[in-house]
Amino acid sequence: MGFAYFPHTDEDIRAMLDKAGAVSLDSLYSDVPEDVLFKGEFDIPDAMTEMEIRRRFADLSSKNRKLKIFCGAGAYDHYSPAAALSMISRPEFLTSYTPYQAEVSQGTLRYIFEFQTMMSMLTGMDCSNASMYDGPTSAAEAMLMAMSCTRKKKRILLSGTLLPQVLQVVETYMGFHGVGLDVIPGKDGESDLASICRELRSEDVAGVLVPGINRYGIIEDLSGLADAVHDAKALLAVYSDPSSLAVIRTPGEWGADLACGEAQSLGIPLNAGGPYLGFLCCRQEFVRKLPGRIAGETVDADGKKAYVLTLQAREQHIRREKATSNICSNQSLMALYVTVYLSLMGPQGLRRVNDLSYGGAHSLHSRLLETGLFTDAFGKPFLKEFTLRSRLPVDRLQKSLLDKGIFGALSCGEDLVSFCVTENRTEEEIEQVVDAALFCHLDICRDIVNDKLSPDHEILR
C-alpha cells in the first residue's frame, strides 16, 4: 500500500483479509461500480508555510459572497457573542467526547447538566436529554417516543404547518419504522385543530406533533389541544424555536408531553448548512424513554459537588432491544456553545433579543405593505418571521434582493414569500429590502414598456 501513517504490517493485512475471506484489499470493493471509483491523482497542493496557508484560505474565503440574511425557516441569523467561541475552547471542556469516566470528564458532564437544566427551563418541561443532531431528527425521535410510550397505537398525526424539512424527516423515520403517519393540512395558515381532534377519535393515534411558531412565522394558538390529545390517550409534542420561548407560551404551558426543536437560534452561527443542534424534552414520567444520555448532579466521597451520567439508554449499556437510541456523538460541542450563550444572555438578554427582532420584523412588515406590492397573507400574530402575498414574481423579487446583497423572500408556495428579521439587522438594511422591492416593480414596468412583458401583467392590475 505504501501509506506512511498506516500502522498495519503486510502480515496484519493478510490476516485480516483471510478472516474476511478476501483475496486482496481491492477485492473488498469489488461490488462498487467501476464508474464511481476515483482512479486519478488527488489535486493536493504542496506543503505551505503558516503564512502561505493563511493567505490561501483568505483568498478562498474572499470568493464567498456575504449576504444580509432576511430568511428564517428554521435557521436564524442571531448574534453570536465573541465570548462563546473563547469559552468553548477552554481546556476543562476538552475532555473525551463520551464521558464514560466521570473522574476525568467533569467538565463535559457539567455543561451537559447545565444544558439540560436550561432547556428544561426554556421549554417548561421536567427533563431534557443531552442533545441531538438537529431539529427535524429530534422531532422524529419525539414521535418514536410517543409510539413507545403508548405501545399498541398505530399512527401519528403531524400538522401541515410544520417546517417542510421537519415533515420530510419525520416521514422518512416513520416509514422505516412501519409507523402510520397522517399530515393534517393547515387552515388559514395555522394548524387545523378541529381536524386533528376528529382524527383522534379513531383511538389509534400515538402522538401529535404541532409547531409553536409555524412555517409562516405565525404564533399558533394551541388552546385545548393537549386535553383532546390526552383524552385519546396519546402524547402531544410541540416543535419550538427555543429563542422565542423567552417571550411566548412554552410547550409546558400548552400542556405538552414532549418538546422538540432546533437550538441553532441560541447563538450558533449560520455556516453553509451546519452544524445544528436538536433538543428533546419531556415530562418526568417519560424520562426512561428519552433517547441519548442524561447527566445528573451528586456529591463525591468527600461530599463535594460532582456530575455523573444518570441514565444511559444506549445499546452499549443495556440490552439492544431496550435501547432507545443509537445517538453517539451527542453534538456535545454545540450543546456547550448553547450553554455558554444562554449563560451570557440570561433571561433579560434573551428577552432583549426577541424585543429587537420583533421590532425589526414588524417595521419591515409595515414598510412592505405600504409599497402596495404585498398583502398580508394571514393577518395572524408573529414574532420575527412573517409571510406576505407578493404581487411581484417571486423569482424577480429574489433577484432584485440578491443584487443588493440580500437573501430574502423565501418562497412558501404560489405567490407567498416569507421574511425574517433578527437583532442582527439594521434599519438601513430594512430600508434596502424595501428599495429592492420597489426597484423590482420599476424593472417590471420597464419590461412592459419595452414589450418584454404582457401589458396585462399582475403588477398593473
Q: What kind of fold does domain 82-343 have according to CATH?
A: Aspartate Aminotransferase; domain 2 (3.40.640)
- Mean pLDDT for the chain? 90
In angstroms, the CA 374 to CA 354 distance is 25
The pLDDT of residue 142: 96
The pLDDT of residue 331: 65
Report the relative pairing of strands 278-282 and 258-262 from DSSP bridges.
antiparallel
> What length does the chain have?
461
Angle, helices 164-177 vs 135-150, to 10°: value is: 40
How deeply is 379 buried, as exposed, middle or buried, from its count of CB atoms within 10 A (0-12, 13-18, 19+)? exposed
- Radius of gyration over alpha carbons of the chain, in Å? 26
> Given 3-state DSSP classes, what are the helix, strand and coil percentages for the chain, each rounded to the nearest 5?
45, 15, 40
pLDDT at 210 over 80: yes
In angstroms, the CA 323 to CA 338 distance is 27
> What is the tens place of the pLDDT at every residue in 366-399?
999 999 999 999 999 999 999 999 999 999 999 9
Q: Using DSSP, how many helices (H) and how many strands (E) does the chain show? A: 12, 15
Are 217 and 187 within 8 A, CB to CB? no
**One-letter amino acid identity for 228?**
A
In angstroms, the CA 44 to CA 349 distance is 46
pLDDT at 3 over 70: no
Our CA angle for 270, 275, 280, nearest 5°, is 110
Q: Where in the chain is the domain with CATH 3.40.640.10?
A: 82-343
SS3 state at 111: helix
In angstroms, the CA 7 to CA 320 distance is 33
Q: How many CB atoms lie within 10 A of CB 296?
A: 14
432 phi and psi angles, rounded to 5 deg? -65, -35
How deeply is 417 buried, as exposed, middle or buried, from its count of CB atoms within 10 A (0-12, 13-18, 19+)? buried
- Across residues 224-240, what is the average pLDDT? 98
In angstroms, the CA 337 to CA 85 distance is 7
pLDDT at 354 over 90: yes
- Across residues 124-134, what is the average pLDDT? 90
Quick one: pLDDT band at residue 280, thresholds 50, 70, 90? very high
Quick one: pLDDT band at residue 459, thresholds 50, 70, 90? low
For residue 234, what are the contacts with CB-CB under 8 A and spacing of at least 6? 146, 150, 153, 200, 205, 206, 207, 208
The pLDDT of residue 275: 87
pLDDT at 325 over 70: no
**22-26: long-range contacts, CB 8 A cutoff, minimum separation 24:** 25/1
The pLDDT of residue 238: 98
For residue 11, what are the contacts with CB-CB under 8 A and spacing of at least 6? none
Q: Where in the chain is the domain with CATH 3.90.1150.10?
A: 346-460
The pLDDT of residue 180: 96
pLDDT at 152 over 80: yes
The pLDDT of residue 457: 55
In angstroms, the CA 16 to CA 6 distance is 14
> What is the tens place of the pLDDT at every residue in 32-53?
998 888 888 888 888 999 999 9
Report the relative pairing of strands 416-420 and 410-411 from DSSP bridges.
antiparallel
Angle, helices 427-449 vs 394-403, to 10°: value is: 120
In angstroms, the CA 113 to CA 131 distance is 11
SS3 state at 115: helix
**One-letter amino acid identity for 55?**
R
The pLDDT of residue 50: 95
> What is the tens place of the pLDDT at every residue in 51-103?
999 999 999 999 988 999 999 999 999 999 999 988 888 877 765 567 777 77
* CATH number, span 346-460: 3.90.1150.10
In percent, how much of the chain has pLDDT > 70? 92
Q: Which DSSP helix (H) or strand (E) runs through 278?
A: strand 278-282
Are 164 and 211 within 8 A, CB to CB? no
Report the relative pairing of strands 416-420 and 385-390 from DSSP bridges.
antiparallel
The pLDDT of residue 293: 80
Are 72 and 135 within 8 A, CB to CB? no
> What is the tens place of the pLDDT at every residue in 405-458?
999 999 998 899 999 999 999 999 999 999 999 999 999 888 888 776 665 555
Q: What is the DSSP string of 368-423?
A: HHHTTSEEESS---BSSEEEEEESS-HHHHHHHHHHTTEE--EE-STTEEEEE--T
The pLDDT of residue 240: 98
Cell reading at 367? 414598510
> What is the tens place of the pLDDT at every residue in 290-322?
887 889 999 998 999 999 988 876 555 666 666
Are 445 and 406 within 8 A, CB to CB? no
